[in-house]
Amino acid sequence: MKVGRFFRTPKGLLILALGALVVVAAVGTGVALVTPGVLAAIATAMLVDAPLIRWRRGRWHVPDGALLSGLIVAMILSPHQPWYVASVTSALAILSKYPLRVRTANIFNPAAFALVASFYIFHTGQSWWGALPELSPFALILLVATGAFITHRVNKVPVVLAFLGSYYTLITLAAFVGNPAHVAELYRAPDLHAALFFAFFMVTDPPTSPPKHRDQLIYGTIAGVTSYATFALAGVVYFLLAGLLVSNVWEAWRRNAGRTRIRQLGTTR
């Protein structure tokens, strides 16, 4: 595929969007601080994925999905981590795609899976610096604009609305029922930026999220409810990612149930 044509595909557009965000975020966070992690994560992800794709498909392909996974991992991990932590985390992301599959797609969002694993292996912090939390409020407009564009292009608007709707509904209820101070930060930077980045660029991941709008509503709601529940009950730094992993499991179950139904129909005819 020609380069120009590739960058008009959803994956190509996502690479451009995240690339733009990472450049702007790097300027705000510190280019020297974030560059080792970004390069290590992307290079490792692509180097690990390339031979695996060759083995599976029989010929070489540019591992563009790995580039995205590496980029997302680097944009979420704290830039204060050593570069090898980003490297190992992105390798985990790629390796998680192959053994854990239902039908033709991986079960878990690779970046989310690896970041949670990395928390337990390296005790990593997650700063979500790629979501532009350290820049002026105008940066939020850039984040929302790129996110909304990509979401529309991959036809995942319902999943984003379902996630944000359920997540903020529960937080707002908690603010009225309990102490508002407990959830005040979730409405503001950096948590707001993290939630938006997560909704636009991770919950919408095409291989791990459902294509039909009705299923997207369920999927997004599961992600929102479990994210909030993880925050409220466990208080762990990866509460958003935990919500996504739970909804990934639901989607895998749905896909598997659909395949079983098709098989049963085939045998009765």
Partner 1 sequence: MPPKDHPTTSHLVALGTAAVLAVYGVGFVRTQAAAARLDGEKPRRRPPAPVAVAQHSADVSISAPATAEAITKGAPAAGQALKVKPEPKGDAASAMSGAERPKITALASAIGDTATKAPADTTRTFPDLKDGVYTGWGTSRHGDIEARVEIRNGRIFSASIAQCLTMYSVYWIAALPPQVVKRQSPEVDFISGATESTNAFYDGVVEALKKAK
**Binding region for partner 1 (CB under 8 A):** 29, 78-82, 85, 119, 122-129, 131, 133-134, 152-155, 157-158, 161, 164-165, 168-169, 171-172, 175-176, 179-191, 193-194, 231, 233-237, 239-240
CA dist 152 to 10, 110, 156, 167, 205, Å? 10, 22, 6, 20, 12
Nearest distance, CB of residue 191 and partner 1, angstroms: 6
Neighbours of 188 (CB within 10 A): 10
Nearer to partner 1, 58 or 235 (CB): 235
Q: Are 71 and 129 in contact (CB under 8 A)?
A: no
Nearest distance, CB of residue 32 and partner 1, angstroms: 13
Nearer to partner 1, 91 or 164 (CB): 164
Nearest distance, CB of residue 100 and partner 1, angstroms: 25
Nearer to partner 1, 35 or 169 (CB): 169
Nearest distance, CB of residue 60 and partner 1, angstroms: 27
Residue pointed to by tokens 């830039």: 79
**What count of residues does the chain have?**
269
- Of 209, 199, 187, nearest to 241 by C-alpha is 199
Nearer to partner 1, 234 or 257 (CB): 234
Nearer to partner 1, 240 or 252 (CB): 240
Nearest distance, CB of residue 76 and partner 1, angstroms: 9
Nearest distance, CB of residue 184 and partner 1, angstroms: 4
Q: Are 77 and 85 in contact (CB under 8 A)?
A: yes
- Of 165, 164, 158, nearest to 217 by C-alpha is 158
Q: How many CA atoms lie within 13 A of 20 on its CB side?
A: 13
The alpha carbon of 191 is separated from its chain's Cα centroid by a whole number of angstroms, namely 15
Nearer to partner 1, 144 or 257 (CB): 144
Nearer to partner 1, 49 or 247 (CB): 247
Torsion angle, alpha carbons of 66, 16, 168, 74, to 10: 40
Amino acid found at 193: H
Nearest distance, CB of residue 249 and partner 1, angstroms: 22
190 prior amide bond cis, ω within 30: yes
- Of 67, 79, 42, 110, nearest to 190 by C-alpha is 79
